[in-house]
């Protein structure tokens, strides 16, 4: 397992790529850019592969995972690939009966209600997700100098699917359990933190160059509740990877009021959605962490001159941060014209190009 990593750290290799350098607040030849959900329904070549294969099934086939992960790298020239998988893949591997329903998202057959339900969620390791280990190893070989990002869902966002039984707008059942049965909440969140940590370790062992912890729905919480019920569990995931040698990214949506607290969880990079300008976000996060973001995904549905002006603004505001990875504020919308993404990558590279000697 050492070989993949040793090879990755050579000069010019993935660990020395503009993406990883920006995560570590080091000088870069240009601002790196990738897109959350860059692999997916905006690409006709993705829709073709997925036409007759269910989502979870596709995540368990290393050949398909590899091909789907590479598609946006080939097409757009992004600075990083992100493993094609889903945050509920390790949950299913832990024995929870769930499916990813087209047009809906994750649906859990028997939502978590009791301590016994929590105990049925088994600890996982490499042998529970061999297809992830295999796909990452294939991808690291195929990608050469382009870094691969591994990811996991954070305890709050995973808990929401498990408690609600599916996607939720209010997260009402989740909050009811959190407030009404705090011990049960902490038992569940603790178990999900262990799951996320184990899942990320498998990906790091197999050779990913960075990891992102997705707490997509944490913005539903007040800062006080976030600090009390969520931050310790997310911090435990990130702390468990402190010696792993790869940068950690911590992302959520609607987190303007949580950026300070989230930055305390310990990641090298804090993801920011489109609601908070990156210079404002940087003041909340502090000088010790890089930022990632934050073009509104809906903007990619606007005419090019509008997109161009927004890309310029975000690069300007990103200069206030000690490191900037360009991205969207959330995932690519399925109706996005892929040509827009290709043009954004080229524009970010062109506008941010630094002289070679820097
Ligand atoms: O290219 C990539 O970005 C990699 C693929 C990826 C990632 C990073 C997928 C594939 N899922 C995820 C993570 C994920 N899954 C998150 C965190 C990121 C985010 O906030 O977008 C979340 C919240 C999920 C849960 C999920 N899975 C949803 C959202 C449901 C809701 O609550 O609104 C959905 C729709 C899925 C299914 C899914 N995952 C991925 C794809 C391509 C799809 C659609 C599958 C299909 O129906 O074809």
Per residue in 58-73, pLDDT (tens digit) is: 999 999 999 999 999 9
> Is 37 in the active site?
yes
- Is pLDDT of 1 > 90? no
Distance 86 CA to ligand 1 centre (A): 6
Whether ligand 1 lies within 6 angstroms of the CB of 320 is answered as: no
* pLDDT (mean) for 93-122: 97
Distance in angstroms (rounded) separating the CA atoms of residues 63 and 320: 41
pLDDT in tens, 257-310: 999 999 999 999 999 999 999 999 999 999 999 999 999 999 999 999 999 999
* Burial environment of residue 291 by CB neighbours within 10 A (0 to 12, 13 to 18, 19 or more): buried
Annotated binding site: 37-41, 86, 161, 216, 330
pLDDT in tens, 8-20: 678 889 999 999 9
Ligand 1 atom nearest 212 alpha carbon: 8
The pLDDT of residue 5 is: 53
The pLDDT of residue 212 is: 98
Mean pLDDT across the chain, nearest whole number?
96
> Residue 240: CB partners within 8 Å, gap ≥ 6?
197, 201
**35-47 core/surface letters (b: 16 or more CB in 10 A; e: else):** bbbbbbebbeebe
The pLDDT of residue 7 is: 59
> Is 10 in the active site?
no
**Banded pLDDT at 4 (limits 50, 70, 90):** low
* pLDDT (mean) for 139-153: 98
The ipTM of this complex is: 0.91
Distance in angstroms (rounded) separating the CA atoms of residues 68 and 47: 10
The closest residue, in CA terms, to atom 33 on ligand 1 is 167
The pLDDT of residue 357 is: 47
pLDDT in tens, 79-104: 999 999 999 999 999 999 999 999 99
- Number of alpha carbons in the 13 Å side-chain half-sphere of residue 115: 5
Q: State the Cα torsion 212-213-217-221 to the nearest 10°.
A: -130
pLDDT in tens, 174-190: 999 999 999 999 999 99
Task: Please give the share of the chain, as a percent, with pLDDT higher than 70.
Answer: 97
Annotated catalytic residue, options 46, 79, 161, 284? 161
> Is 273 in the active site?
no
Distance in angstroms (rounded) separating the CA atoms of residues 307 and 114: 48
Domains (range + CATH), the chain: 2-352 (3.20.20.210)
Fill in the DSSP letter of residue 353. P
* pLDDT (mean) for 202-231: 98
Distance 148 CA to ligand 1 centre (A): 17
Tokens of 141: 């070989």
The pLDDT of residue 354 is: 86
pTM over 0.90: yes
Annotated catalytic residue, options 21, 25, 50, 60? 50
> Is 86 in the active site?
yes
> Is 50 in the active site?
yes
The closest residue, in CA terms, to atom 47 on ligand 1 is 102
Other Cβ atoms less than 10 A from the Cβ of 169: the count is 8
Distance in angstroms (rounded) separating the CA atoms of residues 49 and 45: 7
In which element (H, E) is residue 307 found?
A: helix 304-318
- Is pLDDT of 3 > 90? no
Annotated binding site for substrate: 37-41, 86, 161, 216, 330
pLDDT in tens, 347-357: 999 999 987 64
Tokens of 173: 């059942």
Whether ligand 1 lies within 6 angstroms of the CB of 166 is answered as: no
Distance 83 CA to ligand 1 centre (A): 12
Distance 90 CA to ligand 1 centre (A): 14
The pLDDT of residue 6 is: 54
Ligand 1 atom nearest 216 alpha carbon: 20
Render 181-226 in DSSP notation, one character per residue. -HHHHHHHHHHHHHHHHHHHHHHHHHT-SEEEEE-TTGGGS-HHHI
Identify the bridge partners of residue 107 per DSSP, sorted by sequence position.
Answer: 99
The pLDDT of residue 356 is: 62
Tokens of 155: 């305890």
The pLDDT of residue 355 is: 72
The pLDDT of residue 358 is: 45
Annotated catalytic residue, options 37, 228, 283, 343? 37
């Amino acid at each position: 397992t050492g070989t993949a990593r040793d090879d990755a750290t050579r000069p010019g290799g993935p660990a020395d790529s503009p993406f990883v350098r920006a995560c570590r607040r080091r000088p870069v030849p240009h601002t790196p850019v990738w897109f959350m959900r860059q692999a997916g329904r905006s690409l006709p070549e993705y829709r073709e592969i997925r036409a007759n294969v269910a989502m979870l099934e596709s995540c368990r086939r290393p050949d398909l995972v590899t091909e789907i992960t590479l598609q946006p790298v080939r097409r757009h020239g992004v600075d990083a690939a992100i493993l094609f998988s889903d945050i509920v893949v390790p949950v299913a591997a832990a024995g929870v009966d769930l499916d990813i329903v087209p047009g809906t998202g994750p649906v859990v057959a028997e939502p978590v209600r009791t301590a016994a339900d929590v105990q049925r969620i088994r600890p996982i390791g490499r042998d529970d997700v061999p297809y992830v280990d295999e796909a990452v190893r294939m991808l690291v070989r195929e990608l050469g100098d382009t870094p691969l990002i591994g990811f996991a869902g954070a305890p709050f966002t995973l808990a929401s699917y498990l408690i609600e039984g599916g996607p939720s707008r209010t997260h009402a059942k989740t909050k009811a359990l959190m407030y009404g049965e705090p011990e049960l909440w902490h038992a569940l969140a603790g178990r999900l933190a262990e799951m996320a940590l184990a899942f990320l370790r498998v990906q790091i062992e197999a050779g990913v160059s960075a990891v992102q912890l997705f707490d997509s729905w944490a913005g539903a919480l007040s800062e006080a509740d976030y600090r009390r019920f969520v931050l310790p569990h997310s911090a435990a995931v990130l702390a468990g990877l402190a010696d792993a040698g790869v940068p950690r990214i911590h992302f959520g949506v609607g987190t303007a009021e949580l950026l300070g607290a989230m930055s305390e969880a310990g990641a090298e990079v804090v993801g920011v959605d489109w609601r908070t300008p990156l210079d404002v976000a940087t003041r909340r996060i502090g000088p010790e962490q890089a930022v990632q973001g934050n073009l509104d995904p809906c903007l990619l549905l606007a005419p090019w001159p509008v997109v161009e002006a927004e890309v310029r603004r975000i690069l300007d505001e990103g200069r206030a941060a000690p490191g900037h990875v360009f991205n969207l504020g959330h995932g690519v919308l399925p109706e996005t014209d892929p040509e827009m993404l290709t043009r954004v990558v080229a524009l970010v590279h062109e506008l941010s190009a630094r002289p070679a000697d820097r």
